[in-house]
Amino acid sequence: MSRILITGGTGLIGRHAARLLAERGHAVRILSRRAAPDVPLLRGLSNIEFVQGDVRNPASLAPAVSGCEVVVLSHQFQNFPVENPRRNETFDAVDRMGTVHCVAAAQQAGAQRLVYVSGIALGNPNPPHPGIRAKLAAERIVFDSGLSAVSLRVNVVYAADDKYFSRLARAARWSPFVPIPGSGESRCAPVHVDDVARAIAHAVERTAIGGLVNVCGPDEVTWRALLLAVAQAAAPMRYRIAMPIPQRLLLLAGAVGERLPTPLLSREAVTFITQFDQSCRGGVGCEDVFGFRPLGLREGLRAAFDADARR
């Protein structure tokens, strides 16, 4: 069994990966900006510890990575994907430079393997976006480290405890209206967070595997279809009313939002949400290299958002 450091371990993907790795017998250390965060999903697991640090602060990383054979890089800034330059919460500061700092610390500590949690949009970088540029640079840093490395290019992730789809599911239990950002025609292959955690566990344990691995669900759909399916899974109704929100209106709201002391929305975030092609085209996936097939969309959404199914 390995000692593993997870950056971003209190976030959605990180905490689910931490729990699964701990259940598989690994010693898991989680880097957190707070000394002792309360993460309900991780309560009661004796082989998980928290260490205070920040990927933007290189000096805080040495004690965190000390003694760890594997580093899982799943960090992202608070309120992602809405950047807050005033607080240095940007793609470049966290994704790119944060990865530079983590890789250097891992090298100095004698770590043996890096698992980078990336995004499927890196394979279809259209339109150009600071998030794509930062993550592509981070990926190169990981592969140029000289350590055994794998990058998991993860598709749209959903879970009962996520920040976005769970809110939509709650709203769907009392309203038939489903807001659709932009045209809703961009495509994605949504994946349940448990399958992402499983891919991370395989990437940690199967050290002969390297390079790029796509972590996608088997069903490719439009964002419009996905949002309607989330609402239907949470509260089956005969009718659902899609309410498209024009991108022009979202961009206007983003222009206003990014001027606030704590930005609630930005124009770059609107682009991130509405325009990325997140199809899984080419490359290798979980079934090819890890030997498991992620949940289908209907089954996964039912597991995540159908209250009766989760009892």
The pLDDT averaged over each successive group of 10 residues in the chain (311 residues) is 94 97 97 90 94 97 97 94 92 97 98 97 81 95 98 97 94 93 93 98 96 97 96 88 94 92 89 85 92 97 78 49
pLDDT, residue 264, reads 85
CATH topology of domain 3-157+191-216+281-294: Rossmann fold (3.40.50)
pLDDT, residue 1, reads 79
pLDDT, residue 273, reads 84
3-state SS class at 288: helix
- Joined tokens for residue 85: 């330059």
pLDDT, residue 230, reads 96
| Residue 154: burial class (beta carbons within 10 Å; 0-12, 13-18, 19+) | buried
pLDDT, residue 210, reads 96
Give the whole-angstrom CA distance, residue 9 versus residue 72. 9
Q: How distant is the alpha carbon of residue 161 from its chain centre?
A: 13
Indicate left, alpha or beta for 240 from its phi (over 0: left) and psi (-120 to 50: alpha). Answer: beta
Residues in the chain: 311
Can you give the pTM of this predicted structure?
A: 0.95
Give the whole-angstrom CA distance, residue 77 versus residue 60. 17
Spans of all domains in the chain: 3-157+191-216+281-294
pLDDT, residue 307, reads 65
Q: Which residue has the tokens 């998980």?
A: 48
pLDDT, residue 309, reads 54
